[in-house]
Structure 1
Amino acid sequence: MPPAGGFEAIRYKRNLPARGPGGAAILLGVTAVCGYGFYKLGLGNLEKRELKREKAWSRIHLVPLLLAEGDRDIYRREQAALAREKEIMKDVHGWEAGKSVYNNKNYRPRDTIVVL
């Protein structure tokens, strides 16, 4: 027979202490971190846009300088090619170094530059 007063109660529930912050605190923390991240992303996008604009304007301002440098290089190469042609063809009678092979008098720049 059972003891007087009955059997003692069986503990079937988990008895764990509450640890860490609650769900609302975690949600608030994640929202704050995401907000700060989006703020920094916006600042980075502004800086990237400014650097892109600065790069475009620097290229725009450098174009005349680069074109002039290219023209000087082409002229120097043409003069060197003319000097080589004069040296190579000096023994050929009737050869005019640098004379155009075309039959019209319009100036035609070279389409390709041979770099030796």
Structure 2
Amino acid sequence: MSAVPQQELPRPGGFPEIRYKRYVPKIGPSGLALFSGITLMCTLGLYRTGQGNLERRELEREKVWSRIHLIPLLQAEVDRDTYRRENAINEREAEIMKNVKGWKAGESVYNSKRYTPQSYVVVP
């Protein structure tokens, strides 16, 4: 007698459904809302950065132009100071060399007609 093998079959009505999905409740904004929000924030940030760059550039231009317009005033101050110092040096030189015949105070020591400012040597 040979026994006929029996195949295992599902129970009547079938097996219960296997839960393979996670049923997590949807909390928070959707992916599209998050993506839109991040895009909006990046756009706003880049816009504000561009506006800041324009303002910084304008302030730098204003600073440069104010310096350019101050140069003649500062140069005039330097010229007045140089003139005053050269006159004082010439008077002091005339006083010191008054006993030397043929000495001309303030005369250039160079063999040139070109103006050369005096160089100041500070002796401690």
- Range class of TM-score, shorter chain: 0.5 to 0.7
Match 2:116 to one of 105, 109, 112? 109
Give the alignment's Cα RMSD to 1 decimal: 3.2
Percentage of pairs with the same residue: 54
* TM-score, length-scaled by structure 2: 0.65
- Confirm or deny that 1:69 pairs with 2:77: yes
Deviations 1:46-99 (CA, angstroms, capped at 9, x unpaired) = 222322332232223222112111111211222233344345x34752343322
SS in 1 for 2:46: helix
Deviates more, 1:20-29 or 1:42-51: 42-51
Q: Which of 21, 29, 38 is 1:21 aligned to?
A: 29
Deviation, structure 1 residue 36: 1.1
Shift of residue 33, structure 1, vs aligned partner? 0.7
Q: Which consecutive aligned stretches of 4+ in structure 1 deviate over 4 angstroms post-superposition? A: 4-13
Matches within 5 A, 1:56-95: 56-87=64-95, 89-90=96-97, 93-94=100-101, 95=103
Larger Rg: 2
Instruction: Return the letter of the residue paired with 1:63.
Output: I
- For structure 1, the 5+ residue unaligned runs are none
Q: Which has the higher contact order (CA 8 A, sep 6+)?
A: 1
How far apart, CA to CA, are the structure 2 residues paired with 1:92 and 1:61? Answer: 48
Cα shift at 1:5: 8.0
- Contiguous gaps of at least 5 residues in structure 2: 1-11
What TM-score, normalized by structure 1, do the two folds share?
0.68
